[in-house]
A and B are shown apart, each in its own frame.
Chain A
Amino acid sequence: MLDFAMLIEPDNLKLYADGLLTTLKLLLVSLACGLAVSVPLSVLRVAKSPLLYGPVWLYTYVIRGTPMLLQLYLIYYGLSQFAVVRDSLAWPLLSDASFCAMLALAINTCAYTTEMLAGAIRATSHGEVEAAKSVGMSRATLYRRILLPSALRRSLPAYSNEVVMMLHATSLASTVTLLDITGAADRLYSTYYMPFEPFLAAALVYLLLTWGLVRVFRQLEGRYLAYLAPRSH
């Protein structure tokens, strides 16, 4: 017997609306930070010197090789156990659950995005690189004009997957006291002892968000990957 009536009570609708804002804030901030840092890291990742690519390889290997829930717990509950951390300048930030969640999300998406971009850089056709060199481009200009723009474009389809996965990963924030969409559903679940209706409603919100994101990325792909499409008459 399902009863969705409680979902449309004003207080509970507001809970979901606030949850939606929290989820979007977590997603957008962590994606922006993660992407910004991943661009230079991906350049280091494809460098020839082990001193340059080694640390980046280790970072992506560790982050991609461990569950994000664990990383979030380490950041939120783990770090706070040390007096050194609690007395440090970073504590006002680290004591904030919202910051901890964004940090964990950003570290994660940055690792995945770095590997994705590095792969795209490696897959750039040799002809393009040779052409650039033949007209006398320096390494910096080669990266700025040829490799990075092309790699970013070609990463779009894979990146849209990453963004959707990140949207779903934000639900972990509810485990550190944040009231995101999942947290809102969790609150209703524990208030009304009904697991099905609140979580089903939350799933629907995520589904709509995913649908929106996929549409945005399809537009972007149409625009930025047009040059790769088969020629039409």
Chain B
Amino acid sequence: MKKLAVSVALALSCSGLALAEQPKQIRIGVEAAYEPFAYKSPDGKLVGFDIDMANALCAQMKAKCVFVEQEWKGIIPALNAKKYDAIISSMSITDERKKAVDFTDKYYHTPARLIAKAGSISGTPASLKGKRLGVLKASTHEKYAQKYYAPAGAIVVPYDSTQQVYMDLAAGRLDATSADSVESSVGFLKKPEGKGYAFVGPVLKDPAIFGQGAGIAVRKGDDDLRNGFNGAIKAIRANGTYKKVNDKHFNFDAYGA
């Protein structure tokens, strides 16, 4: 009996200690194929702007980020299936996604562009007639392509990751892709495979599709977490942490106007 009491007391004190010392954990869903925002370093670590931003926000909220990797097209269903608590993965805030999840305020905003072999097309929807345009499945770029390029005669081909799009673009299976200007610049154009390719046409604009920038998605009704993130975004914008993370990756302010 004594032994039991001692062990119970021990167990209780241990769990008490564990609870006291462990900061709150927030599980973050991320698609790690989106350089420079979220990708894997050669030694397999998750790195990028989204990762650093998530860590800065969690630190501001006195919590610890635990990252969970997820393929892009399943990233919202997995959030709603409680595989993680929030998505910090360059997700544009759009009305369509708001039907499935709640968003915080934006934490960055960079424009979308069209990428093709330099000089091959002018970038107007008509210039894409009969051309194969690769896009990320379930992305705002796919929506944009379906709305503007498909009716003009472009063949829109959806892929599971932008890396696959760039591989097929370099291989010549695709004629163009529409993607985030910063991601495609770092993830493709500045790489050896991207030689000879360039942005074509103007910045793509359609607020109804591209939304107001990238936000953090949480499950519907999870207002505590959403407000926590919103407060943290404001706080790190004000105290210089945002600028520090931003300047580590970019030579411009990714927060946008």
Contacts and interface: CB of A to CB of B under 8 A. Distances in A.
Contact residues of A: prevailing secondary structure: helix
A95 interface: yes
Nearest to B78: A195
Nearest to B163: A77
A191 B140 CA distance: 11
A77 B167 contact: yes
B58 interface: no
B173 A95 contact: yes
B157 A177 contact: yes
A193 interface: yes
Given A95-B173, A177-B158, A80 B168 contact: yes
Given A97-B173, A193-B76, A195-B77, 5 more contacts: A80-B168, A81-B171, A95-B171, A95-B172, A190-B137
Nearest to B157: A177
Contact of B138 (A91, A97, A190, A195): A190
Contact-residue bracket for chain B: 10 to 19
B164 interface: yes
B158 A187 contact: yes
Contacts, number: 40
Contact of A77 (B76, B80, B157, B164): B164
Interface in A162-195: 175, 177, 186-187, 189-191, 193-195
Nearest to B160: A175
B100 interface: yes
B202 interface: no
B77 A193 contact: yes
Given A81-B171, A186-B73, A195-B74, A177 B100 contact: no
A215 interface: no
Contact of B80 (A95, A97, A187, A193): A193
Interface string A181-222: 000001101110111000000000000000000000000000
A86 interface: yes
A95 to B, nearest CB: 5
Contact of B77 (A80, A86, A95, A194): A194
B103 to A, nearest CB: 14
Contacts of A193: 76-77, 80, 100
Contacts of B76: 193
Given A80-B173, A190-B138, A177 B73 contact: no
Contacts of A86: 171-172
A89 to B, nearest CB: 15
B171 A177 contact: no
A81 B157 CA distance: 19
Interface string B98-136: 001000000000000000000000000000000000000
A191 B76 CA distance: 11
Interface string B56-95: 0000000000000000011011001000000000000000
A177 to B, nearest CB: 5
A189 B164 contact: no
B159 interface: yes
B249 to A, nearest CB: 28
B171 A189 contact: no
A193 B98 CA distance: 11
B146 to A, nearest CB: 10
Interface in A82-100: 86, 91, 95, 97
Nearest to A191: B138
Contacts of A80: 167-168, 171, 173
Contacts of A175: 160
Nearest to A183: B158
Interface string B156-198: 0111100010011001110000000000000000000000000
Given A190-B138, A193-B77, A193-B100, A177 B159 contact: yes
29 contacts: A77-B164, A77-B167, A80-B168, A80-B171, A80-B173, A81-B167, A86-B172, A91-B172, A95-B171, A95-B172, A95-B173, A97-B173, A175-B160, A177-B157, A177-B158, A177-B168, A186-B137, A187-B137, A187-B158, A189-B73, A189-B77, A190-B74, A190-B138, A190-B158, A191-B138, A193-B77, A193-B80, A193-B100, A194-B77
Q: Which 4 A-B pairs have the closest CB atoms?
A: A190-B138, A80-B171, A190-B73, A193-B100
A178 B172 CA distance: 17
Interface string A85-129: 010000100010100000000000000000000000000000000
A175 B80 CA distance: 24
